[in-house]
Amino acid sequence: MTEKKRRPAKKRGGPQHKSPYFLQPAKQGAVTVLRRPAGNRIDAKLCGTMSSRGMALALVKQLEKAESVVKDLFLEATDDGIEALEAVLEACRQSVIKRGEVPAGGPAGGGHGQKKRGRNRRRGPAARRVSTESPVVDAEDTSAA
C-alpha cells in the first residue's frame, strides 16, 4: 500500500527574528532608538531620538534596511567604520524626518478599521477632489418637478 503524503505542519510562533533595535522613552514624549550590543561593544548604540513612536518605528525599519546591505556596520570598531556608521545613522534619521509623521493608523497602531482594498478604495488626493462646477438649474425645471 502507498502511504498518503502529508504537508508539514505550519510553524506558529513569534516573529522569525527578533530585531536588534529597541525603543526607550525620552524626555518630553520623545522616543530613543537603540541597538543591542554586538561584536566588541559592551553598551547599546544610540541610533537617534525621534519625536514620536511612529517616527521611531520608521527609523528602526530604515536602519534594518541599511543594516541588511552592510551587515557588519555595527560591528566595526575602526575609526573609518565608526565614521561610516555615523554617516549612515544620520542619513537614516534625515530620511525619516523628511518623510514626515506616520499617520495614526500606521505601524504604531491606534487607527480605526483596516485598509480598504479592492475597487472602491480611494487613490490619493485626486480621488478626494470635489467638483467645483455645480449643475445649472433653471427656475422652470424646479417648478415642473
pLDDT digits 0-9 by tens, 76-107: 777 788 888 888 888 888 888 888 855 545 55
Q: Mean pLDDT lowest for which of 15-24, 49-58, 93-102, 123-132?
A: 123-132
pLDDT of residue 32: 94
> What mean pLDDT is predicted for residues 131-140?
54
Q: Does residue 58 lie within any of the structural domains? A: yes
Flag the least confident range among 4-13, 27-36, 133-142. 133-142
Of 22-26, 30-34, 65-69, 124-128, the least confident: 124-128
Quick one: three-class SS letters along the chain? CCCCCCCCCCCCCCCCCCCCEEEEECHHHCEEEEECCCCCCCCCEEEEEECCHHHHHHHHHHHHHHHHHCCCCCCCCCHHHHHHHHHHHHHHHHHHHHHCCCCCCCCCCCCCCCCCCCCCCCCHHHHHCCCCCCCCCCHHHHHHC
**pLDDT > 90: what percent of the chain?**
17
Q: Is residue 54 part of a domain?
A: yes
Instruction: Check residues 112 and 37 and name the one with the higher pLDDT.
Output: 37
Looking at residue 136, what is its pLDDT?
56
Query: Is position 90 within any domain?
Result: yes
Burial class (CB in 10 A: 0-12, 13-18, 19+), 64: middle
Greater pLDDT, 121 or 145: 121
Closest listed residue to residue 63, CA positions, set 39, 96, 30, 38: 96
Rounded to an integer, what distance in angstroms lies between the CA atom of residue 58 and that of residue 97?
9
Q: Is residue 80 part of a domain?
A: yes
Q: What is the pLDDT of residue 145?
A: 47
Range of the domain at 81: 21-99
Answer yes or no: is 141 within a domain: no
Domain count, the chain: 1
Let me know if residue 25 belongs to a domain: yes
Whether 125 is covered by a domain: the verdict is no
Average pLDDT, the chain: 75
